[in-house]
C-alpha cells in the first residue's frame, strides 16, 4: 500500500504504566468461533479495524446508584470520586516535564459525570491525526465486555484537537465491584476520513421501497451473489472471504490521505 511519510494516527503515551495501543485482532482476541474466523470476512474485518486501547492500570469501581468509589487493584481503601481524580503520582511528574505556564494542567484520570453512573476515564494517551482524519472511539468490536458497564461512542476531530484520549462509561450494575484490567482492551479507536460522516455523504442515499421495484441489474447481482454459488456443488467455503482478502491485498493508495 502506498503511503506518504506522515502517519494517519499518532499516539503519544504520557502515563508510563499504560500499555501502548495495539492493532485490533481479526479473531477478537481468540473469542470468535473458528467458522467465523475462517469464512466470515465481514466479522474479521470489523474486528481488526483500528487499534485497541487499554486502561493504564488495574482498576475497580463500585456504583451505589448515586456515588462512585474506586481503587487501584491491590489498594486497601476505596476512594470516593468527588468529582475527579488524578492518576497516582502523575500530576507532579507532569509538572516537572511541562514547559512554564502548563503546571497544574495535567489531565484528570477519572471524572464522575453529572449523569448518574457515568464515568470518564483517561487512557493515558494523547492523539493526533492527519489533516481531515478523525477518530471513532467505541467499545471493542465483537469482543464481549467483562460486564457491568457499557461505553458511549464518540468521534474526535483529532486533526485539530490535540488533547487527552478519553472515553465515557455508563455503569449498568450497582453495589458490585466492576474491574477494568490493564491487559484487556477498554476501547477500540478507528480512523475515519471526515468526508465519511459528513452530511453530504450521509445524505447521498437512495431507497427502493418495494420488492417489485428491483430492476434487472439488481436481480442479476442478487443471482451472482446468492443463487449461482449455491448451484455450484464444488464451490469452496469462504469465497467471499477469499475475494475480499485479494481486494485488500491489492491496496488503496494513500498518497493524498495525509493532506
CATH number at 109 reads: 2.70.40.10
> Is residue 252 over pLDDT 70?
no
The residue out of 183, 201, 219 marking a domain boundary is: 201
Residue pair 187/139 in contact (Cβ under 8 Å)? The answer is: yes
Residue for cell digits 474506586? Answer: 70
Split into its structural domains, the chain has a count of: 2
Distance CA 172, CA 103 (A): 37
Measure Cα distances from 166 to 16, 146, 163, 188 in Å.
Answer: 17, 19, 9, 12
Percentage of the chain with pLDDT > 70?
Answer: 88
What pLDDT does residue 226 have?
87
What pLDDT does residue 232 have?
75
Q: What are phi and psi of 189, to 5 degrees?
A: -110, 140
Residues of 68-107 as b/e, b for ≥16 C-beta within 10 angstroms?
bbbbeeeeeeeeebeeeeebeebbeebeeeeeeeeeeebb
215 in the same domain as 174: no
The residue segments making up the domain with residue 96 are 9-201
230 in the same domain as 128: no
- Decide if 254 is inside a domain: no
152 in the same domain as 230: no
What's the average model confidence in pLDDT over 147-165? 96
What pLDDT does residue 225 have?
87
- Decide if 126 is inside a domain: yes
- Decide if 257 is inside a domain: no
pLDDT digits (tens, 9 = 90+) for 203-250: 999 999 999 999 999 999 999 988 888 777 766 665 655 565 566 666
> Is residue 1 over pLDDT 60?
no
- Decide if 258 is inside a domain: no
Measure Cα distances from 101 to 14, 95, 104, 162 in Å.
Answer: 18, 10, 9, 17
Higher pLDDT, 200 or 245: 200
Lowest-pLDDT range of 58-62, 76-80, 144-148, 254-258 = 254-258
The 3-state secondary structure of 125-152, one letter per residue: EEEEECCCEEEEEECCCCCCCCCCEEEC
- Decide if 259 is inside a domain: no
> Is residue 160 over pLDDT 90?
yes
The 3-state secondary structure of 161-228, one letter per residue: CCEEEEEEEEECCCCCCEEECCCCCCEEEEEEEHHHHCHHHHHCCCCCCCHHHCCHHHHHHHHHHHHH
177 in the same domain as 61: yes
What pLDDT does residue 229 have?
82
Measure Cα distances from 29 to 35, 47, 123, 190 in Å.
Answer: 15, 9, 20, 17
Percentage of the chain with pLDDT > 90?
Answer: 81
224 in the same domain as 153: no
Lowest-pLDDT range of 22-31, 206-215, 247-256 = 247-256
What's the average model confidence in pLDDT over 101-120? 96
> Is residue 198 over pLDDT 70?
yes
Higher pLDDT, 233 or 68: 68
110 in the same domain as 39: yes
pTM for this predicted structure: 0.86
Average pLDDT, the chain: 90
What pLDDT does residue 259 have?
37
Query: Is residue 74 left, alpha or beta, with left meaning phi > 0 and alpha meaning psi from -120 to 50?
Result: left
- Residue 80's beta-bridge partner residues? 69
Distance CA 119, CA 114 (A): 9
Amino acid at each position: 500500500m502506498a503511503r506518504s511519510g506522515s502517519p494517519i494516527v499518532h499516539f503519544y503515551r504520557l502515563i508510563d504504566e499504560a500499555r501502548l495501543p495495539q492493532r485490533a485482532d481479526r479473531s477478537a482476541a481468540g473469542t470468535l468461533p473458528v467458522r467465523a474466523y475462517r469464512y466470515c470476512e465481514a466479522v474479521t474485518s470489523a474486528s481488526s479495524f483500528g487499534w485497541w486501547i487499554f486502561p493504564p492500570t488495574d482498576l475497580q469501581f463500585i456504583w451505589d446508584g448515586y456515588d462512585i468509589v474506586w481503587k487501584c487493584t491491590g489498594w486497601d481503601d476505596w476512594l470516593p470520586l468527588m468529582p475527579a481524580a488524578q492518576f497516582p503520582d502523575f500530576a507532579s511528574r507532569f509538572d516537572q516535564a511541562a514547559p512554564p505556564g502548563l503546571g497544574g494542567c495535567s489531565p484528570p484520570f477519572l471524572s464522575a459525570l453529572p449523569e448518574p453512573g457515568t464515568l470518564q476515564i483517561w487512557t493515558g494517551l494523547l492523539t493526533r491525526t492527519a489533516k481531515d482524519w478523525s477518530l471513532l472511539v467505541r467499545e471493542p468490536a465483537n469482543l464481549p465486555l467483562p460486564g457491568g458497564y457499557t461505553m458511549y461512542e464518540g468521534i474526535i476531530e483529532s486533526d485539530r484537537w490535540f488533547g487527552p484520549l478519553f472515553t465515557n462509561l455508563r455503569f449498568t450494575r450497582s453495589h458490585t465491584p466492576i474491574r477494568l484490567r490493564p491487559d484487556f482492551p477498554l476501547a477500540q479507536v478507528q480512523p475515519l476520513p471526515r468526508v465519511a460522516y459528513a452530511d453530504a455523504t450521509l445524505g447521498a442515499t437512495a431507497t427502493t421501497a418495494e420488492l417489485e421495484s428491483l430492476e434487472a441489474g439488481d436481480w442479476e447481482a442478487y443471482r451472482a451473489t446468492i443463487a449461482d454459488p449455491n448451484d455450484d456443488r464444488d464451490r469452496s467455503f469462504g469465497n467471499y472471504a477469499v475475494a475480499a482478502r485479494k481486494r485488500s491485498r491489492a491496496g488503496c493508495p494513500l498518497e493524498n490521505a495525509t493532506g
